[in-house]
Amino acid sequence: MIETTMENMFEILYWFAMIAMSLMLAAITVMLFITGFKFAKGSRKGLGAGCIAFSLVAAGMVVFMVEKQFF
């Protein structure tokens, strides 16, 4: 009885952590994309392009991770 309860608790904690991590990675990627546009509008065009490119690659990795984990 106790083993099953602990197992269920850890399974719930695992899924909570996976969802929280996925949301945080997505939020950071969006913020980096927005920062890249701000840099690109100013005098740091190269840095802006790098931020945008990196955020697109990171978004692809987040999508891959979410699809592999949840679907």
pLDDT of residue 1: 59
- How many CA atoms lie within 13 Å of 52's alpha carbon, on the beta-carbon side? 13
Q: Are 35 and 51 in contact (CB under 8 A)?
A: yes
Q: pLDDT tens-digit profile of 23-33?
A: 999 999 999 99
- Distance between CA atoms of 67 and 49, rounded to whole angstroms? 27
| Better pLDDT: 52 or 68 | 52
Domain boundaries, given as residue ranges, for the chain: 2-70
pLDDT in tens, 31-66: 999 999 999 999 999 999 999 999 999 999 888 988
pTM: 0.77
